[in-house]
Amino acid sequence: MFSQKTLPKREFRGVWVATLNAIDWPFSEKDSAEQQRRDFISLLNFHQKRGANAMIVQVRASADVIYPSNIEPWSLSISGKQGMPPKPFYDPLEFMIEETHKRGMEFHAWVNPFRAVTNTQYVKVCDDHISKTHPEWVLEYNTLKILNPGLPEVHQYVNSVIEELISNYDIDALHFDDYFYPYPDHGELKADRSTWRKYRVANESIRDWRRRNINTFVEGVHRLIVNKKPSLKFGVSPFGVWRNERDDYDGSPTRSGYTSYDHLYADVRLWLMNGWIDYVAPQLYQSTKHRSIPFIPTLEWWSNNSFGKHLYAGHAVYRVDRSLENGWRDKEEMPLQIVTARNMDKVEGSILYNSTSVWNNQGGIADSLKAIYPTPALIPQMPWIDGRPPQIPLEPEIFATDEGVKIQWKTPAMADDGDLPKYYVIYSTRSGKLPNIDSPHEILKILPSSQLEFIDKRTSQLEDYTYLITSLDQLQNESEAVLPQYPKDQNVILPQPYHEKVVVDLNSSALKATWQIINNIIDNENFTMTKDFN
């Protein structure tokens, strides 16, 4: 069907879940709190079975939020009325994060920083919405209202919202999309000219001033994260074209009518160069056959301009088998895009827009994902934030039970950087050799740190499989692997990658484990046996 190189052990596999107008979740603005919870669990299970390891959930769509806040009102999507909490009361965001982490997946909180009202003709805002409490901060553009990015007080306000979010919730990343200044669909934005005259520097054009506003804001959010929660990732999903090469030597070989730099005033390339963001997920929403913005050359441009940060391709699943544009009627288009991204240098994964399109198996995409993602994958590491691994799982033991083979362990001490495990990874392979921890095929399960045991229900015989366990921290750094032993046995610790050098202590009573290691690596010239005679 499509050509793939060897499956990666680490790959970002995200899904966007839009809450604006209940696009993806809740399934209906009229759903009860219990129904909302059931539906989100169904979404998680559905996407995990199709390989996803990260959920990018919209938590603030229009200056309203899906969690209890001291600053902003409840989202319209939660109860059907802005400002009204769910009944019976629960915290949707806390629930979502907990359920996502239970499955060993990351939760990225998607925030729209400046959008205030999507459509003034249809949306009724509550009295404590920012567009009513501070109308002087608002720019109107046709039926859209946004917070004015040129006002320092707006930056302070949005930063306070972000600080509340990242301080109160165990999110893995803060995520912005493409909406900074509005798309110029109906003429030019003129409502901010008085602000420009007040805050511009000498001879600064309004376009350069707008870009400076967004640059200042993004840098400020970066500094906020570094100061308040340095382990948090910060990512942006911009419009797919930074600039066309006809307008800028550094631009892409595209002929786009809109660009992120010129029309949305988002200089994403600068943010990557300066290290203000940790990942970029450009919205590459055209097909491989598109004449002006073809998928592959545009992605190649981003791969050459990611400046050492992570690059995830953003895919328009919603267009498959729907758009009349050339290429989208081909059901192989989306598999081709995802596998092309996987095989391209410096691309660390993909994000699919949107959840509902995958859920509905649009163009057969849900079926295709089972073939594209046949094995689990860990999230790629970000060593510029944290590159130190956690400690190994403590005292792992293995038992035969009526339910299956039970593996249990204890939480280790903190690593040198203060990190405890966030997840545990169990590898397994047929007995007689050790699992290859470089292979995604041998990942049996990724578990949250709250779970300190696992039952392999495939068998109740200890002789059938061999297991290894590792720890993962918040940034997906992986510890050395440890072999579970019968109770009271000592552990054999395997340096990572274990196949390069293995040290076996012959004082260990884990004779079976030692024999398995010897069988596996006896031909390895790096094999070393040590004996401690003390």
Query: Rounded to an integer, what is the distance from CA 34 to the centroid of its chain?
Result: 26
* Residue that has been written with the tokens 């069907």 in this structure: 1
Residue 190 makes CB contacts below 8 A (sequence gap 6+) with none
Strand-pair category, 423-430 with 173-176 = unpaired
* Residue that has been written with the tokens 């391709």 in this structure: 313
In 141-236, which residue ranges form alpha helices assigned H by DSSP? 152-168, 193-199, 206-228
Range list for CATH 2.60.40.10 in the chain? 394-530
Pick from 103, 5, 9: nearest CA to 435: 9
Total-model pTM: 0.92
Distance CA 32, CA 15 (A): 24
pLDDT tens-digit series, residues 229-238? 999 999 999 9
Half-sphere exposure of 46 (CA within 13 A, CB side): 18
**371: amino acid identity, one letter:** A
- Helices 295-303 and 333-343, interaxial angle, to 10°? 20
pLDDT at 463: 86
Exposure class string for 17-41: b at 16+ Cβ within 10 A, else e: bbbbebbbbbbeeebebeebbebbe
Say if domain 12-372 classifies as CATH 3.20.20.80.
Answer: yes
How many separate helices (H) and strands (E) can be counted in the chain? 14, 22
DSSP run (H or E) holding 371: helix 365-372
Q: Are 111 and 62 in contact (CB under 8 A)?
A: no
DSSP secondary structure letter of residue 22: G
* Strands of 138-141's sheet in order across: 115-117, 144-147, 138-141
pLDDT at 532: 41
CA distances from 261 to 309, 357, 365, 478 (A): 19, 29, 32, 38
Structure token digits, residue 400: 């035969």
pLDDT at 504: 40
Structure token digits, residue 9: 């052990």
Structure token digits, residue 459: 């068998």
Distance CA 105, CA 94 (A): 15
Q: Are 320 and 359 in contact (CB under 8 A)?
A: no
Structure token digits, residue 394: 């403590």
Pick from 401, 412, 398: nearest CA to 486: 398
* Residue that has been written with the tokens 């919603």 in this structure: 318
The per-residue pLDDT string of the chain (534 residues; one tens digit each, 9 = 90 and over) reads: 455 568 999 999 999 999 999 999 999 988 999 999 999 999 999 999 999 999 999 999 999 999 999 999 999 999 999 999 999 999 999 999 999 999 999 999 999 999 999 999 888 999 999 999 999 999 999 899 999 999 999 999 999 999 999 999 999 999 999 999 999 986 778 999 999 999 999 999 999 999 999 999 999 999 999 999 999 999 999 999 999 999 999 999 999 999 999 999 999 999 999 999 999 999 999 999 999 999 999 999 999 999 999 999 999 999 999 887 888 999 999 999 999 999 999 999 999 999 999 999 999 999 999 999 999 999 999 999 999 999 999 999 999 999 999 999 999 999 999 999 999 999 999 987 899 999 999 999 999 999 999 999 999 988 899 999 999 999 999 999 999 987 664 455 555 544 443 434 344 334 445 545 555 554 444 434 433 433
390: left (phi over 0), alpha (psi -120 to 50) or beta: beta
CA distances from 104 to 168, 207, 291, 319 (A): 20, 43, 40, 29
Range list for CATH 3.20.20.80 in the chain? 12-372
- The superfamily CATH assigns to domain 394-530 is Immunoglobulins (2.60.40.10)
Phi and psi of 509, rounded to 5°? -85, 5
